[in-house]
Amino acid sequence: MSAPRVERALEIVEEIRASLEEAGLSDVLVTLDGSKIAAAARLSAGGAIHIRPPSLKFPTHSHTFATWTIVIVYGTPTEQVASWTRLDEIIAAIAPDLDVTVAQPSSWEGKPPPPAYELTFTD
Question: What residue ranges do the domains of the chain occupy?
Answer: 4-122
Fold of 4-122: STM4215-like (3.30.2000)
Chain segment 32-63, per-residue pLDDT in tens: 999 999 889 888 889 999 999 999 999 888 88
Region 60-84 average pLDDT? 90
pTM: 0.91
Distance CA 10, CA 76 (A): 28
Provide DSSP, 16-61: HHHHHHHTT-TTSEEES-GGGHHHHTSTTS--EEEEPPPEEEEEET
Measure the N-to-C terminal CA separation of the chain; round to a whole number of Å: 21
